Amino acid sequence: MDDTEARHTEKMKKRQAAHEKILASKTREKGLLIVHTGPGKGKTTAALGMVVRAMGHGQKVGVVQFVKGAMATGEKAIFDAFPDLVEFKPMGEGFTWDTQDRARDIAVARTAWEEVKRMIADPAYHMVVADELNIVLRYDYLPVDEILETLTARDEMKHVVVTGRNAPAELIEAADLVTEMTMVKHPFRNGVKAQAGIEF
Amino acid sequence: MDDTEARHTEKMKKRQAAHEKILASKTREKGLLIVHTGPGKGKTTAALGMVVRAMGHGQKVGVVQFVKGAMATGEKAIFDAFPDLVEFKPMGEGFTWDTQDRARDIAVARTAWEEVKRMIADPAYHMVVADELNIVLRYDYLPVDEILETLTARDEMKHVVVTGRNAPAELIEAADLVTEMTMVKHPFRNGVKAQAGIEF
């Protein structure tokens, strides 16, 4: 072995040792605060995918949908087959999204949030999904301080997933894992409407 | 009504008419080529969420995983409860991802692709998911031209979802809906390891 080769071997060994040291340091298990935000597709569907994974591991999951309403028919039919593993609450039905009945919208958001709080407090739930909660925060229907107080005080093994565009900065700051979904291309531009199995 | 008000009303009417015209033009239903790419989380989980939605509408879905292998235990347990609605093929088990056995890796990728092709050709499937196919294309284990030929020649009502970072430009060009998942924050940085129900 000449000098160059020896140096290379030494370098690779060091690199391998450093890599193993990093892996060995990833030992903690903890409940994650996960945020899916951004203008792209996939925020809710990625949360649903996580629900399915957790269910598959026998973990109980609670899902509260703050906005979707009557559109959320697809996943509900499947989740209904596993009543012991998932509690699915589409609370947002009837959201008006205008200021004509702001008081009623706030009341609906409050009721949905109470459901989330109950699931977070109940040790039976491994994961709680607050779907489109960001939208509610964006409209100031619920105070972000109150939401963060509950989220940060939760049991340290509980996973919480919050979805919706325009996640508030305070939530991103508090989160463990934040993914932004960006739209690169959308079929609406070509006259294609929302379809069963894709959008709902 | 003074002049200013009348102009405003006229303007709003025009705006409403334009909005309705846009909505009325969204009438097409067609099979979409959907790509989830980017370095962030949620590419596969968003595809799994779409699978659950489609299943909930009684649509049959085929899922071929090119890479995940033994990690993909969570979703499988749930999908196995619906053998008529979903065919789930984790083909990537044993991928080596190094050049030690490139010929074997190519053979595995080829076998997985043949499964995808079969599902695309079979009218029974409404949606086909080629999970992590982009990785295989990135490594040149399969020729992108051949993949695109099959994808563009498919039945016009069939949805195909391709996931994986580094989607080739040709695939993005051919796709109807492309979402890029961007990592904003990752718990690995704080020593947290991959956990059941989250990563797998």
Q: What is the ipTM of this complex?
A: 0.77
* A12 interfaces chain B, CB cutoff of 8 Å: no
Of B46, B127, B186, the CB nearest to A45: B46
In three-state secondary structure terms, B185 is strand
B60 touching chain A per CB within 8 A: no
Pairing type for strands A33-37 and A159-163 reads parallel
Q: Are A66 and A133 within 8 A, CB to CB?
A: yes
Task: Please tell me the distance from the alpha carbon of residue A109 to that of residue A3, in angstroms, as a whole number.
Answer: 69
Pick the CATH number of A29-183 from 3.10.290.10, 3.40.50.300, 3.40.50.720, 3.40.1280.10: 3.40.50.300
A36–chain B nearest CA distance, Å: 9
B165 burial class (0-12, 13-18, 19+ CB within 10 angstroms)? middle
Residue A166 backbone phi and psi in degrees, to 5: 60, 45
Bridge-partner residues for A35, per DSSP? A162, A178
pLDDT of residue B189: 55
Q: Hey, how many other C-beta atoms are within 10 angstroms of the C-beta on B23?
A: 9
Which chain B residue lies closest to A36 (C-alpha atoms)?
B42
Segment 157-196 of chain B within 8 Å of chain A by CB: 159, 172, 175-188, 190-196
Q: Which residue of B has its CA nearest to A174?
A: B185
How far is it, in rounded angstroms, from Cα A95 to Cα A104?
8
Exposed/middle/buried for residue A62 (C-beta within 10 Å: 0-12, 13-18, 19+): buried
| Distance of alpha carbon B74 from alpha carbon B7, whole angstroms | 59
- What is the percent of chain B with per-residue pLDDT over 70, rounded to a whole number? 75
B48/A44 touch (CB, cutoff 8 Å), yes or no: no
Tokens of A114: 């109470």
The CATH class given to the B29-190 domain equals: alpha beta
- Contact assignment for B45 to A46 by CB distance below 8 Å: yes
Facing residue for B75 by CB, picked from A40, A53, A82: A53
- Average confidence (pLDDT) over A151-168: 95
Q: In Å, how far are A71, B91, B131 from B63, measured between CA atoms?
A: 24, 10, 7
- Tell me how crowded residue B2 is: count the other CB atoms within 10 A of its CB: 7
Q: Which residue of chain A comes nearest to B159, CA vs CA?
A: A198
Q: Which residue type sits at A10?
A: E
For A51, the token pair is 């629900």
Question: Which chain B residue's Cα is nearest to A176?
Answer: B187
Q: Note the pLDDT of residue A7.
A: 66
- Six token digits for residue B82: 């619906």
Asked if residue A67 lies in contact with residue A96, where contact means CB atoms within 8 angstroms, the answer is no
Of A82, A179, A193, the CB nearest to B184: A179
Neighbours of A188 (CB within 10 A): 14
Instruction: List the domain boundaries for chain A.
Output: 29-183
Helices (H) and strands (E) counted in chain B, each on its own, are 7, 6
**Is B180 within 8 Å of A175 when comparing Cβ atoms?**
no
Give the chain A residue whose CA is nearest to the CA of B51.
A197
For the cut 50, the answer to whether the pLDDT of residue A191 exceeds it is yes
**Residue B31 touches partner A, C-beta closer than 8 Å:** no
Chain A residues within 8 A of B192 when measuring between CB atoms: 26, 28-30, 32, 176
Which residues face B87 on adjacent strands? Answer: B62
User: From the CA of B55, how many Å to the nearest CA of chain A?
Assistant: 7
A with B: how many residue pairs have Cβ under 8 Å apart? 233
Interface test with A, best of B22, B32, B192 (most A CBs within 10 A): B192
Min Cα distance B186 → chain A (Å) is 5
> What span, in angstroms and rounded, lies between the C-alpha atoms of A184 and A99?
32
- Going residue by residue through chain B (200 aa), what tens digit of pLDDT does each one get? 556 656 655 665 666 666 667 667 666 788 999 999 999 989 999 999 999 999 999 999 999 999 865 445 688 889 989 999 999 988 876 555 555 678 888 898 999 999 999 999 999 999 999 999 999 999 899 999 999 999 999 999 999 999 999 999 999 999 999 999 998 877 655 566 777 766 77
CA distance linking residue B134 with residue B148, whole number of Å? 12
Which pLDDT value is given to residue A70? 40
Helix H or strand E segment including B160 = strand B159-163
Q: Is B106 on the interface with A (CB under 8 A)?
A: no
User: Which candidate from A50, A59, A184 shows the least CB-CB separation from B180?
Assistant: A184
**Residue A15, phi then psi, degrees to nearest 5:** -65, -40
CA atoms within 13 A on the CB side of B171: 29
Partner B contacted by A86 (CB < 8 A): no
Please report the sign of the dihedral spanned by the C-alpha atoms of residue B155, residue B159, residue B165, residue B171: positive
The predicted-structure confidence for A62-121, as pLDDT tens digits, reads as follows 999 998 654 456 888 899 899 999 999 888 765 555 556 778 888 989 999 999 999 999
